[in-house]
Structure formats: structure tokens, C-alpha cells
Amino acid sequence: MNLVRRAVVCGSCGQSSEQIQPNSGGESGAPDLDTRPHGPVRSTISFWMQRCPHCGYCAADISAIHEQAADLIGEEEYQNQLTDLRFPAKACEFLAHALILERVGQRADAGWTSLHAAWVCDDHDGQGQALARGKALEYWRNAKLAGEDFAEPELEPALAVDLLRRMGRFEDALINCNQALDGGEEPLEPLIEHLLRFEKSLIQGRDTGTYRLCDLPAFQA
Ligand SMILES: [Zn+2]
């Protein structure tokens, strides 16, 4: 992996720190069912979020901060999130950034950032993963209540089902999966229906494992 180091002046506190950016790309192949990419980019996740060592501001690029979030960095809720021992330290950075996104009204993105935190947890023996996925679902629920989509609308139920299954909340996952399969007025897109039926079989097998889009039975040669 190519790493690029550069000094960044924090948009929150004005102090400088060295930040590392990965410089890698390439083909990533089929993603996990929750969209986590494969290939080189999968392993760069610890570099997706910068953290100012002086004030704790976390963002993909800490050189700027949304003015509505400026006060949040010093608040107890934010600082407590940075030191929440239920999660790996890097996951805390994603979850802290999610608080910033929520503050500025970007609930869908706050959910995605929480899911990225869960991926970090997955890479640390799953420590805190269910809590992080629960936060993602809560942000997404609030996004929908505010009229905001968090994905292509037909894909949203399948994503929620996958998070619930990975959390081990099999009953909720099954209810959501059945609703998505049976509830709509419009016929489901074939890929979405395949995806949901695959999830249903995993739920019935009480399987919390990671699967990729290419694991779908309909996509096997
Ligand atoms: Zn700072």
C-alpha cells in the first residue's frame, strides 16, 4: 500500500498534525452484502478517517469543519464517544464523525459512517459491531422519518435486513425480510428478490457471517 504523509492544519482547533492517506486503487470485485468493498481499498479503512490529536476532531479531511458542528467537538457527548471502550479506537473516530453528521442534519451519511465503524469492529474480532450496526440503523430510521433516503429505495430493506442479521437479531431480521418480500405493491427487482431470499436462508440458519454479492446462488456459474 502506498502511503502519503502530509501536515494538515485542523479546521477545528487550528493546530497542525501529520495525517496519512492511502494511495491505492484497483479492481475490488463483488462487495459484501452490506456494500463493504473488496480488493485493495478494503484494507485501507483505518485511513478513511483523520483524527486531530489536539482536539479530537474526526473527519475524512480535518482541514475544514462545518460551522454548525464547530461547538460539538468540545461537548461531552462527542469527547465521550472518542474514548468509548466498547469499540476499537478507530471505530470511535467513525462514530464521533457520525455525531458531527447528525448535528449538521446528514442522518443518512451518519448511518453509513456508523456502518463503516462496524466494519472496523468486524476487523477487531467483532468488538462493538452489533452496537455500531444498531447506531447505523437508528440514524437510517431517523433519515427516513425526515424524508431522506439512505440508499436506492428498493435496496434499503435488504441493507437493513443484513445489518440485523449480522447483529444476531434474527427475529427482527426475519420480520423485515418477509415484509420486504411480501409487502410491496410493485414486484421486486429480480436481484433484490434473490438477495432477500438469500438473506432469509441465512437468517433461518442463524448465520451472522459475512457474505458477498457473488455468493448469491443465482450468481453462481
Ligand atoms: Zn484539532
Identify whether the C-beta of residue 34 lies closer than 8 Å to the C-beta of residue 159: yes
Q: How far apart are CA 194 and CA 88, in angstroms?
A: 34
Query: Distance from the CA of 37 to the center of ligand 1, in angstroms?
Result: 30
Where residue 221 falls among pLDDT bands split at 50, 70, 90?
very low
Rounded to the nearest 5°, which phi and psi values hold at 212?
-105, 160
Task: State the pLDDT at residue 43.
Answer: 86
Q: Is the confidence at residue 220, as pLDDT, over 90?
A: no
For 42, the grid coordinates are 478494503
- 219 has pLDDT over 70: no
Ligand 1: distance of its center to the CA of 132 in Å? 24
pLDDT in tens, 116-165: 999 999 999 999 999 999 999 999 999 999 999 999 999 999 999 999 99
C-alpha 125 – ligand 1 centre gap (Å): 30
Q: What is the pLDDT of residue 185?
A: 77
Predicted local confidence at residue 81, as pLDDT: 98
Would you state the pLDDT for residue 218? 64
**Ligand 1 center from residue 58 Cα (angstroms):** 9
Which tens digits make up the pLDDT trace of 43-67? Answer: 889 899 999 999 999 999 999 999 9
**What does the pLDDT average to over 104-115?**
98
- Give the pLDDT confidence score for residue 84 in this predicted structure: 98
Query: Torsions phi, psi of 70, nearest 5?
Result: -55, -40
Q: How far is the CA of 133 from the centre of ligand 1 (A)?
A: 27
Amino acid at 17: S
Place of cell 433519515: 143
- Residue 128 and residue 218: Cα distance in Å, rounded? 33
CA distance 11 to 9: 6
CA of 6 to the centre of ligand 1 (A): 15
Nearest to 163 by CA among 199, 127, 204, 123: 199
How many Å lie between the centroid of ligand 1 and the Cα of residue 140? Answer: 28
Separation of alpha carbons 39 and 14, rounded Å: 36
Q: How far is the CA of 11 from the centre of ligand 1 (A)?
A: 7
Cell reading at 191:
436481484
Ligand 1 geometric centre to CA of 10 (Å)? 5
- In the DSSP assignment, the letter for residue 60 is S
Quickly state the pLDDT bin for 186 (edges 50, 70, 90). confident
